Amino acid sequence: MNQVSHWPPKVLLRFGCLAIGMLSLCSGCRSNPSLLQPLERGLGPKLQEWQADPKVQGKATLFSLEVESKLQAMLERSAQSYDLPGAVIGIASSQQRWMAATGQANVANQTDLLPTDRFRIGNLSEMLMAVVCLQLQEEGVLSLSDPIRDWLPEAVLQQITGSDRITIRQLLNHTSAIPDLDQAAFRQAVLTDPAHRWQPKELLLYQSTQPVTRPRGMYTYSAINYLLLQLILERATGESFASVIQTHIAQPLKLKNTFVELSIKQTPVHGYQDWDGNGSSEDVMQPFLNTGIGHGEQAIVSNVPDLLHFMQALFLENQLLTPTSLQEMLTIVETRRGGYGLGILNNLTRWGEVWGQTSTTTGFSAVIFYIPLHDLILVSWTNSGDATEAKPIELVDQSLDIVLGSSAKYLKGPAMQW
């Protein structure tokens, strides 16, 4: 077990006292007033009463040695129980960070996994891409209301049904009604040539021919949305996608371990997955298995410290977006399990309202959550693509049980569901 616990260089603005206000702000961002009704209909007084309970106040301000020991033991026990190659947890409040890892970064070499190791963040990339789009809107480069036909070449538009009626915003919140990739056909193509270096326009050829069952304007996930956004960002900035992420996200925040995969020599740790369906997990890095790596929602590599910093900069420090743009990012459409903003999930859990993302990508699974009520940011990942995001979610839920205790649950219910 490798553990890191330290004070950040800059003590962040204490946000816990604003929890109720933040919940009200987030509720106001909802485009569907019936969504998450418990939060909006009579729960406010209960939250205020709960927040005033001395057993709850200050819970997340510091992690005691006892809490850290319990977190360590939970991580090791869970990783072994789930048969994971390795797992990492990172937790940040306004005043402290704690990170730990267990297992191997390279199973063959028995290399220990470290809390600062890099991994494929998968769908977590959508948050970063959404921030860049909003920044460009602030700069007057584009508008989220722009039709995508204004930014994409005709050859691409011809592959997208109804492209003349789709906006950039609809790509960001998955309401474009564009079909997802045909996973079976694409899997076969990858197995035929595992090392092929895919380009976005090639990936578009594997768009499913099955029509989307929900109409445009309603949430239906499609990886195609963020492939198109990558092309739009490159057109709008005149830069490569890798350069866009560096210029708008990594460099301003001094993130040393966040980059588009394959754009530089740095790599993530080894990931494992039974990608060919033969019943055993293989190392997807040796030989390298390319499933569209470096593009769209599979683009970015990062690590826990960088992601904690990104979330703090986004939600607590106003370093990335203006308040108006952040509110636009948090304006949600209804999904089957909660809501979806611009590149970000929203749900009401037993720990309070949560913003974040979940991901299962080639060789890795991960989650990232921000819980305003408790002033907590959590990142969890494992180098197993077979685990799905359910395992990191369970690690986060168990961590919250330890850090906050049962008195912090103001809603009865199961563990986090996404």
pLDDT of residue 2: 62
Reported confidence tier of residue 3, pLDDT bands at 50, 70, 90: low
> pLDDT band for position 58 (50/70/90)?
very low
**Residues 46, 52, 55, 61, CA torsion sign:** positive
b vs e for 94-133, b when ≥16 Cβ sit within 10 Å of the residue's Cβ? bbbbbbbbbbbbbbeeeeebbbbbbbbbbbbbbbbbbbbb
For tokens 């991580």, the residue is 75
| Band of pLDDT at residue 243, cut at 50, 70 and 90 | very high
Task: Return d(Cα 296, Cα 293) in angstroms, integer.
Answer: 9
What does the pLDDT average to over 39-62?
44
Which secondary structure element, helix H or strand E, spans residue 68, and what is its range?
Answer: helix 65-81
Is the pLDDT at 344 greater than 70? The verdict is yes
- Residue 9 vs residues 6, 114, 306, 382: alpha-carbon distances, Å: 9, 21, 14, 27
**CB within 8 A of 392, min separation 6: which ones?**
87, 358, 365, 366, 367, 380, 381, 382
The whole-number average pLDDT for the span 158-173 is 95
Query: Would you state the pLDDT for residue 277?
Result: 85
Strands (E), 230-326: 259-260, 272-273, 282-283, 300-302
Q: How confident is the model at residue 211 (pLDDT cuts 50, 70, 90)?
A: confident
Q: What is the pLDDT of residue 412?
A: 53
103-125 mean pLDDT? 97
CA pair distance 64, 9, nearest whole angstrom: 20
Contact 84, 103 (CB under 8 A): yes
The CATH number assigned to the domain with range 2-408 reads 3.40.710.10
Separation CA 330–CA 27 (nearest Å): 9
Mean pLDDT value of segment 305-327: 97
Stretch 382-409: mean pLDDT: 87
Residue 84's pLDDT is what?
Answer: 97
346, pLDDT greater than 60: yes
Q: Which helix (H) or strand (E) holds 126?
A: helix 125-138
173 with 145: CB under 8 angstroms?
no
**More confident: 355 or 30:** 355
When mean pLDDT is compared across 209-213, 327-331, 359-363, 406-410, the lowest value belongs to: 406-410
* Mean pLDDT, rounded, of the chain: 85
The DSSP annotation for 185-248 comes to: HHHHHHHHSTT----HHHHHTTB-SSPPSSPTTS----HHHHHHHHHHHHHHHSS-HHHHHIII
Question: Of the given ranges (78-92, 388-402, 403-417), which has the lowest mean pLDDT?
Answer: 403-417
Question: What percent of the chain lies above the pLDDT cut of 70?
Answer: 82
Q: Could you tell me the end-to-end alpha-carbon distance of the chain, in angstroms, rounded to an integer?
A: 29
Residue 154 pLDDT > 60, yes or no?
Answer: yes
| Span 63-75, pLDDT tens digits | 889 999 999 999 9
Our measurement of the distance from residue 169's CA atom to the centroid of its chain's CA atoms, rounded to an integer in Å, reads 18
The pLDDT of residue 165 is above 70: yes
Average pLDDT over residues 189-208: 92
- Asked whether residue 159 carries a pLDDT value surpassing 50, the answer given is yes
CA neighbor of 165 nearest in space, from 180, 177, 181: 177
pLDDT at 29: 41
Mean pLDDT of 233-243: 98
Using DSSP bridges, classify how beta strands 352-361 and 364-371 pair: parallel, antiparallel or unpaired: antiparallel
pLDDT band, very low/low/confident/very high, at 407 (cuts 50, 70, 90): low
The reported pLDDT for the residue numbered 4 is: 53
User: In the predicted model, is pLDDT for residue 417 greater than 90?
Assistant: no
275 confidence band (pLDDT: 50, 70, 90) = confident
Mean pLDDT within 159-181? 95
